[in-house]
Amino acid sequence: MTKPRKISLTLRIFIGMIAGALVGLILNAAFGESGDLVIAGVSLNDNLVDGLFGALGQIFIASLKMLVVPLVFISLVCGTSSLSDPSKLGSLGGKSIVLYVSTTAIAISSAIIAALIIAPGEGLNLTAETTFNVKESPALSQVFVNMFPTNPINAMAQGNMLQIIVFAIIFGIALSLSGESGERIKRGFDDLNNVVMKIVTMVMEIAPYGVFVLMAKLFTNIGYDTILGLAKYFFLVLFVLVFHWLVTYPVLLKSLSGLSPVMLIKKMRQACLFAFSIASSSASIPVTMATARQKLGVQPSVSSFTIPLGATINMDGTAIMQGVATVFIAQVYGVDLSVSDFLMVIMTATLASIGTAGVPGAGLIMLAMVLQQVGLPVEGIALIIGVDRLLDMTRTAVNVTGDCMVACIVAKSEGELDENIFNDPKIEDIKV
């Protein structure tokens, strides 16, 4: 008798997502204008949507986030200390940063060009209903100074990724230079790494349910009228995101490494569903890292470094939203931007992405910096805030794909890619 085929985790997550969206849509329709349904004195919005779905969703995201700091630190220490030649770190870091920065610049440039052609804000007469508080953009020198922790424990407590990366690299190099005692501690770190990765697979098992509640809550509360009002902006951002995902990345991957783009996109499905549901590339690090290692064959020496770095500094999807949003806001307010303004936008957005963490809504904070640089009214952000959540989710999926694509290119060029794993179509799920 043949055994029933186990449904893959990717499919289960997908089913959870669609089922959640459907439940949300039904509740949204049932709640109607009033935004709630009270049955026998019990408010469904308070108890089911905000209460049950909200609490379970938060627990799911927390269980991923709790892994980020230990995983990044432990795996980066293992990765660095296992490098046969620590001086390789320089070329590895250099290549990753150059690729991350260039893909972001390509992303925002294509977004600006698309927005200038389609002109999503022309003829719109919108007024901002809310206000948006601006954060000061950090000076470039400060971004570099801030990478060095004065207190590594504090960096971990704050989840400051760049500081954790710097400390882990120094620690890992010192381990590899410390002879026998270094060896002993390294073995302990290797074991710890396995344990943390085990927790990642455990959390992955509950992902279909986590994704279900997140989607159900989101789709219950979503304002469809807002999306329709901004349809041109919304769909243009979506189009450029999909274009970057399905055209720019494949072309870059093929031309820079010769690897199969189809395989990359196929193997990224699970990580993308994840990133989409939780809208945070930071919180997705455990899943992105496991994907890079186990499905794409990027060796730990490269993935432990490029993935957390990418989650922090590489935000192509976010840059795309900023490109379209800047042109959109300029058009709504009737401001003409010059070529040098656009160059300024590209530069500021690229640099801002280095200094801003990959968390939900980070893109809007970066957008405020960009608008300020070119003298556009920052209140313009209030115009697009209503449709940002769905776009945030989509761009996060693009961001994590970019992280993995760069990891593959760097690994291939450093001889740290297991192409048997990369090309094996049967590796579906992440396991430890």
Footprint of ligand ASP on this chain (CB under 6 A)?
A: 279-282, 315, 318, 358-363, 392, 395-396, 399
Nearer to ligand ASP by C-beta: 137 or 399? 399
The minimum distance between CB 312 and ligand ASP, in angstroms, equals 9
Spatial contact of 354 and 313, defined as CB atoms under 8 Å apart = yes
370 in Cβ contact with 384 (< 8 Å)? no
Tell me the closest approach of the beta carbon of residue 393 to ligand ASP, in angstroms.
8
Smallest separation, CB 284 to ligand ASP (Å): 8
To 5 degrees, how large is the angle CA 309–CA 171–CA 195? 75
Q: Which is nearer to ligand ASP, 28 or 318 (CB)?
A: 318
Answer for the pair 265, 250: CB distance below 8 angstroms, yes or no.
Answer: yes
Which residue, 315 or 407, has its beta carbon nearer to ligand ASP?
315
Tell me the CA end-to-end span of the chain in Å, nearest whole number: 29
Rounded to 5°, the CA angle 407-185-312 comes to 30
CB of 359 to ligand ASP, least distance (A): 5
> Furthest-apart CA pair in the chain: how many Å?
71
The SS3 assignment for 39 reads: strand
Cβ proximity to ligand ASP: between 44 and 367 the closer is 367
Nearer to ligand ASP, 281 or 331 (CB): 281
Are 139 and 369 a contacting pair, CB within 8 Å?
Answer: no
Reduced to 3 states, what is the DSSP secondary structure of residue 147?
coil
231-241 core/surface letters (b: 16 or more CB in 10 A; e: else): ebbbebbbebb
> 284, 417, 345, 236: which is closest to 244 by C-alpha?
236
With CB atoms as reference, the residue minimizing the distance to ligand ASP is 363
CA distance 74 to 3: 39
162/259 with CB nearer ligand ASP: 162
Output 17 or 44, the one with its CB closest to ligand ASP: 17
For the bound state, the minimum distance from the C-beta of residue 278 to ligand ASP, rounded and expressed in Å, comes to 9
CB atoms within 10 A of CB 381: 23
Record the tokens describing residue 427, joined without a space.
């590796």
Which of residues 162 and 279 has its CB atom nearest to ligand ASP in the complex?
279
Nearer to ligand ASP, 64 or 417 (CB): 64
Report the nearest approach of ligand ASP to the CB of residue 104 (Å): 12
CB of 373 to ligand ASP, least distance (A): 18
Q: Least distance in Å: CB of 100 to ligand ASP?
A: 13
Rounded least distance, CB 88 to ligand ASP, Å:
28
Q: Within a 10 A sphere around the Cβ of 280, how many other Cβ atoms?
A: 26
Can you tell me whether residue 132 is helix, strand or coil? Answer: coil
* Residues paired with 39 in a beta bridge: 42
Sign of the alpha-carbon torsion through 59, 63, 66, 69: negative
> What tokens does 351 get?
């640099």
